[in-house]
């Protein structure tokens, strides 16, 4: 088996990449680690030269056949991760080190938990070891894996990664029914504040339309101002 780094996901056939993340427990594959989603980030220029996100995807092959992979990036900053490591960077630099570039195994701009180590379970430790080796060989500060699954977090601990726990806040619909039902569950002060903010947003003078699927076009006229 060979472990390589590729600078564009388009170097891998979509069907080969997506075959690494089949449906699990009756659920479809994570949409954010599909070839289509990651390729859209690269082709749109959301990641790539000048963005601070440079694709360095890890792939494991055998005889040219793709066996495992991980979305991996060289980062020149800590933006777009939704996990704040500025304290780590400041401490590293105060100690005389250079924190950036660092390596990030993640889905850019997507704070949604999902698989990061794609492929059969026996090969996932090899991806983690490859990350550590790349850091060591290139004198980099660190490699990070963010918004991974609990199973991957435990595997990372076993491979010597520092397990960091953070918090997210999620809004849940508790049967509110509509907006008025939602604000009715708030205190009087919060109801007044949120209604004032909503009125300000609605009075901006334009029109907001929700577009999806085939309704999306690269034509700027689809954006109402």
Check if the beta carbon of residue 8 is closer than 8 Å to that of residue 71.
no
Task: Kindly state whether residue 24 falls inside one of the protein's structural domains.
Answer: yes
Place of tokens 């979305």: 71
Same domain, 94 and 145: yes
Distance CA 215, CA 133 (A): 45
Same domain, 184 and 125: no
CATH code at position 14: 3.40.630
pLDDT at 113: 92
pLDDT at 217: 76
Q: Is the dihedral of CA 45, 133, 116, 83 positive or negative?
A: negative
Count Cα neighbours of 122 within 13 Å in the Cβ-side half-sphere.
Answer: 1
Distance CA 17, CA 55 (A): 15
pLDDT at 222: 46
Check if the beta carbon of residue 103 is closer than 8 Å to that of residue 74.
yes
Cis preceding-peptide flag for 168 (omega within 30 of 0): no
Q: In the chain, how many domains are there?
A: 2
Same domain, 200 and 119: no
Same domain, 102 and 59: yes
Same domain, 152 and 187: no
Task: Kindly state whether residue 199 falls inside one of the protein's structural domains.
Answer: yes
- The number of beta carbons lying within 10 Å of the beta carbon of residue 198 is 12
Identify the DSSP state of 22.
-
Check if the beta carbon of residue 5 is closer than 8 Å to that of residue 58.
yes
Same domain, 106 and 32: yes
Distance CA 4, CA 125 (A): 15
Place of tokens 């388009």: 10
Task: Kindly state whether residue 164 falls inside one of the protein's structural domains.
Answer: no
For 105-164, write each residue's pLDDT tens digit. Answer: 999 999 999 999 999 999 999 999 999 999 999 999 999 999 999 999 999 999 999 999
Distance CA 18, CA 35 (A): 6
Beta bridge partners of 59: 4, 69
Residue 22's domain comprises: 2-158
Check if the beta carbon of residue 99 is closer than 8 Å to that of residue 47.
no
Distance CA 194, CA 27 (A): 36
- The number of beta carbons lying within 10 Å of the beta carbon of residue 212 is 6
pLDDT at 202: 86
- The number of beta carbons lying within 10 Å of the beta carbon of residue 153 is 17
Q: Tens-digit pLDDT profile for the chain (225 aa)?
A: 999 999 999 999 999 999 998 655 556 789 999 999 999 999 999 999 999 999 999 999 999 899 999 999 999 999 999 988 999 999 999 999 999 999 999 999 999 999 999 999 999 999 999 999 999 999 999 999 999 999 999 999 999 999 998 888 888 999 999 999 999 999 999 999 999 999 998 888 888 888 887 887 776 554 444
């Amino acid at each position: 088996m060979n472990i390589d780094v590729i600078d564009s996901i388009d170097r891998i056939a979509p069907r080969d990449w997506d075959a690494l993340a089949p449906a699990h427990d009756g659920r479809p594959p994570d949409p954010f680690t599909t070839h289509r989603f990651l390729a859209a980030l690269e082709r749109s220029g959301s990641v790539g030269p000048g963005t601070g996100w440079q694709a360095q995807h890890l792939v494991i092959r055998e005889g040219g056949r793709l066996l495992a992979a991980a979305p991996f990036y060289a980062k020149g900053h800590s933006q777009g991760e939704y996990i704040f490591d500025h304290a780590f960077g400041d401490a590293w630099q105060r100690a005389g080190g250079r924190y950036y570039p660092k390596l990030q195994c993640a889905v850019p701009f997507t704070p949604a938990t999902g698989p990061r180590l794609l492929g059969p379970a026996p090969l996932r430790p090899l991806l983690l070891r490859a990350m550590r080796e790349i850091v060591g060989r290139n004198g980099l500060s660190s490699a990070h894996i963010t918004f991974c699954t609990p199973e991957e977090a435990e595997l990372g601990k076993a491979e010597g990664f520092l397990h960091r726990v953070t918090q997210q806040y999620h809004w849940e619909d508790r049967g509110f029914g509509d907006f008025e039902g939602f604000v009715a569950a708030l205190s009087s002060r919060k109801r007044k504040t949120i209604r004032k903010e909503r009125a300000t947003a609605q009075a901006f003078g334009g029109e907001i339309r929700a577009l999806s699927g085939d309704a999306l076009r690269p034509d700027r006229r689809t954006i109402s101002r």
